[in-house]
Amino acid sequence: MERPPIRLNALATAVPAHVLGQGEVEAAAARVFARQSELFERLKGAYANAGIERRHSCVPLEWYLAPHGWKERQALFGEYAVALFQAVAERCLRRAGLGVEAIDAVISVTSTGIATPSLDAVLVERMGFRRDVARVPLFGLGCAGGVLGLARAAALARSAPGSRVLLLVVELCGLTFRMSDLSKSNLIATALFGDGAAGAVVSTAGGGPVVAGWGEHTWPASLGVMGWNVEDDGFGVLFSRDIPALVRERMAEAARGALAAMGLGLADIDRVVSHPGGAKVIVALEEALGLAPGTMAEAREVLRTHGNMSSATVFFVLERVLAGAARAPERYLLTALGPGFTAAFLVLERG
């Protein structure tokens, strides 16, 4: 018996209220890194070269100019993350034409804060989901969490045809900034990261693009490429300067392997929808996947207007691509990179 197709019934995004211009962020960072003025002078070009004009934050810029501990950070995370979860959940349900009672499972994805009970449990209570709704909190997937979360949602929907899975992704990257950390990685993080959330409804029922397949690849001996160091006052950002080079050297092979498992090749892909880790990463992805320079225009636009929102970002790109696509059938390859060091892939077909 042929399996019914898994469909992306609805997609939504949301951002918090505060807007931070790149120029004002640079000026604030100059104050924070005054004790490392030589490092700041050497690296301040990152603000101009990041391809970012503005970002959204759940807290005002002044918050970043004072020290904060774990307790305060996690209290803010719980407050603002659940509020953004609710915003995207309500938008997804409205766009799918569903009520909360129709949802059979909720998958929540984040890597920038912790909560127990998990965020999805708080949302179930706040929005009145069914008491038998299945909850699947996912933590630690980093920037790859959006694509991998969508893959997990599709797998869950496939295992129970007709069920409806609500995927929710939130990252409050700004809350991880520690003014006591005067490292190069933390400085670069101030030039890149923003806050945002996204959601999707996935099911074998209803309409929408088809989730045709998914895959991932974790490279050996790569645990130090990207992630968090747990410090006394919060998460310490960890990422390697070699990420663009790793993308150029290894991404194509990983993509070919994932696509081959789906019976596809790179030539079968009409559009690449990628998480824009940064301006240099976008260029490296275009080179690795054989795309003409400038092809990934939507990724650059999301980076320009929102920065790197970790796992949520790829859905902002997808939202733009789907809105601007022609009605003719297209096949999209969603990609993202995260701690592990892991490449995530998902193929979406629009008929």
Catalytic residues: 143
Quote the Cα angle for 248-249-250, to 5°: 105
DSSP state of 97: T
Query: What sign has the CA pseudo-torsion 315, 320, 325, 327?
Result: positive
Q: Which residues pair with 228 in a beta bridge?
A: 237
Q: Check: CB of residue 170 under 8 Å from CB of residue 110.
A: yes
What 3-state DSSP class applies to 309? coil
Q: Could you give the CA distance from residue 185 to residue 162 in angstroms, rounded to a whole number?
A: 45
SS3 69: coil
- Number of helices followed by number of strands (H, E) in the chain: 11, 13
Residue 91, CB half-sphere, CA atoms under 13 Å: how many? 17
Q: What are phi and psi of 302, to 5 degrees?
A: -65, -40
